[in-house]
Amino acid sequence: MQEKNQLKTANGFILALLSGCSFGSLAIFFQLGLDQGLDRLCLLAWRFLLSSVILLPLAFGAIRKHRQRFLLCLLVGAIGFTAEAAIFTAAIPRIGAGMSAILLYLYPAYVTLTSALFFKEKLSRRLIVSLLLSLLGCILVCLTPVKSYDLVGLLLGLASALVYGTYLIVSSRVLKGIPASAVTAIVSFGCSLTFFCWSTATGVWKIPGNIAEWRNILALAVFGTILPILTLFKAIPLIGVAKVSLISTIEPVMTVFLGWVVLEQALTPMQLIGGALILTSVVLIHWD
């Protein structure tokens, strides 16, 4: 029994780590899409539309089996995930990507404390230390000069953390028992409907015009959406939403690393120290 629990924990840890690393590629592919001249709403619409087109046929059997909860799952995607993506991308032009990311990564603290207070999830000393290390690490990794102390931008950044944290907590409970493939497919479909209508209504939706744009959107769908969301929902039942959210702080480390490799962005000593702190926090969670 103990070996079975250890294997379950190890699998959950690996899946959560893979989810965080995959989500780390999202900002890179998103930036490449913006550089190609696509609007953020158009990118989000194609990101989720392509994800759902790929996943829905593969997850058809699981979706049919849980069809009574299809609408609930669709609403979680159309409201929860859509809201976080829209709010976070709206904060970036106002306060910059660095400050937006710092505020977003307050969500692990919110999820961990909420899970402990209201859902009686275990909160060990090692988990608390891991939380503090990950918060400090995220600040050091993401800290860049703020474009302006825009109150609306700061509130949007805080809102993105609260919305995403609430989304994780709610989805881990109301979608419990539904296979991760079905959840990912339906959530993506719900998001695609919302962003397609939104981008069309605002006149920014368009069909990508060349292979480079399609290649980038495909990368957004596979590496920035399908893989991270699928592994996220597989990890939560195994190790709990609090630990998954803390391990997910590996995301900004991966983003900075990929920015250095792909976009040739410079790495600062502070970012290296922050990355080391986050990696230390992830190791502590694995030992918890």
Task: Classify residue 214 as exposed, middle or buried by CB count within 10 Å of its CB (0-12, 13-18, 19+).
Answer: middle
Separation CA 137–CA 85 (nearest Å): 23
Predicted structure pTM score: 0.82
Is the pLDDT reported for residue 201 higher than 90? yes
Query: Which pLDDT tens digit goes with each residue over 43-78?
Result: 999 999 999 899 888 888 877 887 777 788 888 777
Q: pLDDT tens-digit profile of 219-234?
A: 999 998 999 989 998 9
Using alpha carbons, select from 28, 33, 45 the residue that is nearest to residue 212.
33
Contacts 24+ apart (CB under 8 A), 63-72: 63/182, 63/185, 63/186, 65/182, 66/177, 66/178, 66/179, 66/182, 69/175, 69/178, 70/186, 72/174, 72/175
Q: How far apart are CA 197 and CA 14, in angstroms?
A: 36
Dihedral over Cα of 180, 222, 70, 246: its sign: positive
How far apart CA 233 and CA 228 sit, in angstroms, is 9
Q: What is the pLDDT of residue 254?
A: 85
